[in-house]
Structure 1
Amino acid sequence: MSVLLDRDGPVAVITLNRPEKLNAWTAGMRERLIELLREAGADPQVGAVVLTGAGRAFCAGQDLGETAGIDPDDHAASDAWIDGFDRLYRAVLDLDKPVVAAVNGVAAGSGFQFALLADLRIGHAGTRMGQPEVLSGIPSITGIWAMWSVLGRAKTTEFALTGRLVYGAEAERLGLLTRLVAEHDVLASAVAQAKELAALPSGAVALTKGRLRELERDALADSVAAAKKVHAAAYATGEPQREMARFLKGRAK
């Protein structure tokens, strides 16, 4: 299975399980994630959720092999792809239960955005995080939304335009990571943190998260609408297809 669900007491641990591809995800993986997030949210025995990845990555973002074939004239397909991310991001934001990301390795592109949706993020010194979509000719639109409240305008602009990834210590300093631990302790520390959160008064947690969600809801809707327009314009130029084909060709050597 490319996405796994386990339990550790009151904590649901959801793991992206495609380590040979650095957990780069497909549309099918994201749909399965949505199902599991909703399942955890509806389970009265689950008090908190941990998100992580198998192997040496959290999530390298979109599988470019899937998006390289997007037909620039098929606007419905392009919009459906973006709507899939909207549903996934909302599935995380709609959880009334605390969410902790165990960022065990690289978190890039939409995988980076996904990590930022967690309430707390625990990583290690070798963790790498960033928004390299521009390097593949893909505009970073929902990425701007995900980064803005954490990084502010200056750093969001830097990350979106340069595509650079930062290591754990800088990620912690910038607020991308909540805490650094030893590499082998990342998942255990995230689960321990989630158990502490699960023991808090659930009503107060749910209401607090509800208010946080209100602050983000309109901005996400605006970001998704903008992403549809901007991505259509980008793909119409053929640039993303050329850059992704170049990347995939280089990886195949």
Structure 2
Amino acid sequence: MTLSVRLQREGPIAFVTLSNPSRLNAMTRAMWRELRDVFIGAAEDDSLRCIVVRGEGGAFCAGGDISEYPSFRFDIDSLRAFHEDEVWAGLQAMLDCPVPLVAQIDGACMGAGLEIASCCDVRLAGASSTFGAPIAKLGFPMAPREAALVHGAVGDVLTRDMLLAAGVHDAARLYDAGFLLKVLPDADVAAAAAAHAARVAALAPQAARLNKGTFAALHSIAAMLPTAYDYADSAEHHEGIAAFLAKRPAEF
């Protein structure tokens, strides 16, 4: 069976593609479970140096697949299980992945797509991309942990507008808010994301994973201190400094 969330390797770089093109890659329940499994597997692959997350067919992800909602959203237990055991499990697997993540954002990045993009370390978007979470129109709020994730990545002002007023914003506004690293012509986004991933992949993978661990622990730095300097005698540490002093490219 072809997965709706699939991982394709190109050397040390992987591309994770969200694929539900008839619905602008809206996330089904099965896709959330696949997202979780893909990123749990990626986290265990020490040869991976960067992952590009993208959508198929000119959109990133337009949200959740609303056609499934009547089958589970009106029961408190099944609704809780959906958000905590499926959606959050997928997002948590992304957050826990020690490999740097680059979001290649085309077209719609709404709701679930905004949450998935918020899990990435770097986000590049096409100029025509749109961002929001207009679920107030559907009569329900964003789940608490998902809202906290988006709030942390997008910022207070835009998150409140998206959730309280169903605000939808363009890429330029998200760049100004600090959510996006770059806004590019639509035709250039894929190449730019691949180039950024290649740049990350050429650098020290151990350092990248340690930096990601630091980012994840920003609110509990004390817990990191016992092991924060264990890399001192590592090969990558020696090589990076030796190469700089010798004025040659490092070989990681």
- Shorter chain as denominator, the TM-score bin is 0.7 to 0.9
Which residue of the partner structure matches residue 38 of structure 2?
A: 36
Q: 1:97: how far off?
A: 1.1
8 Å Cα contact 1:131/1:143 also seen in 2? no
State the aligned residue count.
Answer: 216
Structure 2, unmatched stretches of 5+, are 221-252
Residues 155, 177 of structure 2: 8 Å contact kept: no
C-alpha contact (below 8 Å) 2:114/2:150 kept by paired residues:
no
Task: List aligned pairs for 1:2-13, cutoff 5 A.
Answer: 2-13=4-15
Hey, what does 2:160 align to over in structure 1?
157
The 3-state SS of whatever aligns with 2:128 is coil
* 1:230-245 mapped onto 2 (5 Å cutoff): none
8 Å CA contact 2:51, 2:101 repeated in 1: yes
Match of 1:171 in 2: 174
d(CA) in 1 for partners of 2:41 and 2:99? 12
Local SS of the residue matching 2:169: strand
Give the fraction of aligned pairs with identical amino acids, expressed as a percent.
Answer: 31
The answer on 1:132 being equivalent to 2:134 is yes
User: In the alignment, which residue of structure 1 is the partner of 2:187?
Assistant: 184
Kindly indicate whether the alpha-carbon contact (under 8 Å) linking 1:143 and 1:160 is maintained by their aligned counterparts in 2: no
Alignment of 1:57-72 (within 5 A): 57-70=59-72, 72=74
- Quote the residue 1:237 is aligned against: none
Matched, 1:94 2:88: no
Q: Any idea what SS the aligned residue of 1:6 has?
A: strand
Check the 8 A contact 1:109/1:143 in 2, yes or no: no
Relative distance call for 1:152 and 1:36 in structure 2 (3 A) is closer
Q: Does residue 1:77 correspond to 2:78, yes or no? A: yes
For 2:233, the equivalent position in structure 1 comes to none
Counterparts of 2:103 and 2:145, CA distance in 1: 19
**Runs of 4+ residues deviating >6 angstroms:** none
Determine the structure 1 residue equivalent to 2:117: 115
Residue in structure 2 matched with residue 196 of structure 1 by the alignment: 199
| 3-state SS of paired residue (1:57) | coil
**Residues 56 and 104 in structure 1, CA contact (< 8 A), matched pair in contact too:** yes
Structure 1 CA distance for aligned equivalents of residues 28 and 206 of structure 2: 35
Deviation at 1:71, TM superposition (A): 5.5
Aligned pair partner of 1:145 in 142, 148, 153: 148
TM-score (normalised: structure 2):
0.80
Name the CA distance, whole Å, in 1 between partners of 2:14 and 2:31. Answer: 17
**Structure 2: distance between partners of 1:76 and 1:143:** 18
Counterpart position of 2:20: 18
TM-score by length of 1: 0.80
